Amino acid sequence: MSAGGLPRDTAASVAQAVLLEGVSKSFRSGKGSRTEALRDVTLSVPEGKFVTLLGPSGCGKTTLLRIVDGLIAPDIGRVEVYGSAPRPGPDIGLVFQSFRLIPWLTAQANVEFALRSLALSRPDRQAQAHEYLGLVGLTGFAQAYPAELSGGMKQRVALARALACEPRILLMDEPFASIDAQTRELMQVELMRLWARRKSAVLFVTHSVDEAIVLSDQIVLLGPRPGRVVESLDVDLDRPRWAYDTRSDARYVELRRYLSARMRDLVLADPQSEFFQREPTSTETAAPENEPTASGR
C-alpha cells in the first residue's frame, strides 16, 4: 500500500532517506537568552537502515528529530527527506516516550484515527488497524481504552499506530524509556521483528548504550550542548540480535565498554552538567591514578 506524500518513483534511486548537512539550531527564551541546541550537524540515514542517536541529556536529540519531521526549521543547514524538504505526514511515523494516545478512544480507534489522512475507505481503515494491532499482539485489547492498558501495551498501540500508516521513515524518541526493564527488552524484540518485515528507515533516540547496540545498524554519538556529532560507528553484529547470546558476544562487550566510557566522558565534559558543578566526594578525590579512559579502541 502506498501511504502517499513523498514521490515514490524518484525515491527508488535515492539512497539516503534522511540527509542533514551543517544543521544548526538555537532557541530564544522569553527573557531574550539563547540556547544553542545543535551546531553544524551532518548525518544521514540510508534507506532501510536503523540509525540511533545516542547522547547525553539536552544534547539536541529531540530537536534533531523535530527538524527531520519538518515541525521546526533549522537556522542554517540543509535537511532532506528522500530528496525533498521535510514535512509532517503519513510517510513519517512518530513514536514518543509518552505514548500520546487519545484517552477517550479505544486502541482500535486510536490506530484508525492515525489512518484518516490516507485515502482509505472506512472498512479498509478498520481492517488495517486490526491487522497492525494483531502484529503487536493486541487483538484481544482492541476495544480497551488507554487507561485500561499497561505501559508496555500502550506503547505497543503507539507502535501499531505509527506502523499502520506504513511510513517510509520511523522517528522514535526514547520510545521505551518509561517502560520497565523486562518489558523494554521484549519491546526491542518486537520492534526488530516488525522492522524486519518492511525495513523502513529508522531514526531512533536513546540514552541507553545497550538499546543502541541491540537495535542499530549505525550509532551516531552526539556531544553535549550544543549538540554536534562526535562520532559515528557501524554496529557489525549479526541479526537477529534478540538471542540472549548477543550480550555475551565479544564484539558486543567491546562496543558496550567503548560507548559507555564515551557517554560518561561526554556527560562529564558538559559544563552545564550537574555532575560538573557538584562537589567531588572524598572517594572520588582519592581515585586511583590508572583510571581507565575511553580511548582504548
Ligand X SMILES: Nc1ncnc2c1ncn2[C@@H]1O[C@H](COP(=O)(O)OP(=O)(O)OP(=O)(O)O)[C@@H](O)[C@H]1O
What are the residues binding ligand X (CB under 6 A)? 27, 29, 35, 37, 55, 57-63, 225
What whole-number distance in Å separates Cα of residue 104 and Cα of residue 203? 30
What whole-number distance in Å separates Cα of residue 86 and Cα of residue 251? 36
Smallest separation, CB 34 to ligand X (Å): 9
Smallest separation, CB 207 to ligand X (Å): 6
Smallest separation, CB 149 to ligand X (Å): 24
Smallest separation, CB 77 to ligand X (Å): 15
What whole-number distance in Å separates Cα of residue 242 and Cα of residue 183? 13
- Burial of 11 per CB tally in 10 Å (0-12, 13-18, 19+): middle
Per the CB < 8 A criterion, the answer to whether 42 and 227 are in contact is: no
Task: Name which of 59 and 135 has its Cβ closer to ligand X.
Answer: 59
Nearest to 187 by CA among 118, 95, 57, 63: 95
Task: Name which of 161 and 225 has its Cβ closer to ligand X.
Answer: 225
Task: Name which of 130 and 264 has its Cβ closer to ligand X.
Answer: 264
Task: Name which of 49 and 61 has its Cβ closer to ligand X.
Answer: 61
- Burial of 170 per CB tally in 10 Å (0-12, 13-18, 19+): buried
What whole-number distance in Å separates Cα of residue 151 and Cα of residue 169? 24
Smallest separation, CB 202 to ligand X (Å): 17
What whole-number distance in Å separates Cα of residue 272 and Cα of residue 59? 11
Smallest separation, CB 39 to ligand X (Å): 11
Smallest separation, CB 263 to ligand X (Å): 12
What whole-number distance in Å separates Cα of residue 164 and Cα of residue 129? 6
Task: Name which of 52 and 63 has its Cβ closer to ligand X.
Answer: 63
Per the CB < 8 A criterion, the answer to whether 160 and 132 are in contact is: yes
Task: Name which of 5 and 60 has its Cβ closer to ligand X.
Answer: 60
What whole-number distance in Å separates Cα of residue 274 and Cα of residue 77? 31
Task: Name which of 126 and 178 has its Cβ closer to ligand X.
Answer: 178
Q: Cell for 261?
A: 566510557
CB under 8 Å to 58, separation ≥6 — which residues? Answer: 224, 225, 270, 272
Residue type, 239: R
Task: Name which of 166 and 210 has its Cβ closer to ligand X.
Answer: 210
Smallest separation, CB 98 to ligand X (Å): 11
Question: SS3 of 227, please?
Answer: strand
What whole-number distance in Å separates Cα of residue 292 and Cα of residue 241? 29
